[in-house]
């Protein structure tokens, strides 16, 4: 079974802090994704990566950056956390094929105070 893990289930940070969210997948998938999930808005893509050191912006990249130094690991970085970044963050991975299934991690609920 594909396993996607995220470093924290719950995280509380202060405004202005630098925040790292880590995601690891164990199935040698090419693609990895970061989404944020908000009530009434569904999932929105922040960034994705299709290969090591490769990244592309999704629909809402402002205020975020990412890092993919190894194929299995994809990090989301909030350079200076703000209260409007309080949300559920979901990581996912998939094989690089059209119409392929995405496999999700358990999510990190981030609260910025």
Partner 1 sequence: AQTVTQSQPEMSVQEAETVTLSCTYDTSENNYYLFWYKQPPSRQMILVIRQEAYKQQNATENRFSVNFQKAAKSFSLKISDSQLGDTAMYFCAFSPPYNDYKLSFGAGTTVTVRA
CB 103 within 8 A of CB 89: no
Among 34, 74, 104, 110, binds partner 1 (CB under 8 A): 104
Among 21, 24, 31, 81, binds partner 1 (CB under 8 A): 31
Residue 24 engages partner 1 in binding (rule: CB under 8 A): no
CB of 9 to partner 1, least distance (A): 9
SS3 of 84, please?
helix
CA distance 106 to 109: 10
Among 10, 53, 69, 99, binds partner 1 (CB under 8 A): 99
Residues that bind partner 1 (CB under 8 A): 4, 31, 33, 35, 40-45, 48, 50, 56, 59, 90, 94, 96-102, 104-107
């Amino acid at each position: 079974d594909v396993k996607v893990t995220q470093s924290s289930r719950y995280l509380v940070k202060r405004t202005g802090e630098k925040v790292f969210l880590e995601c690891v997948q164990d199935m040698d998938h090419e693609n990895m994704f970061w989404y944020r999930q908000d009530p009434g808005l569904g999932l929105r893509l922040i960034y994705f990566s299709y290969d090591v050191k490769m990244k592309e912006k999704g629909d809402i990249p402002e205020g975020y950056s990412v890092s993919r130094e190894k194929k299995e690991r994809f990090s989301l970085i909030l350079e200076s956390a703000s209260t409007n970044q309080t949300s559920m963050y979901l990581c996912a991975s998939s094989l690089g094929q059209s119409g392929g299934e995405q496999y999700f991690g358990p999510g990190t609920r981030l609260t910025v105070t």
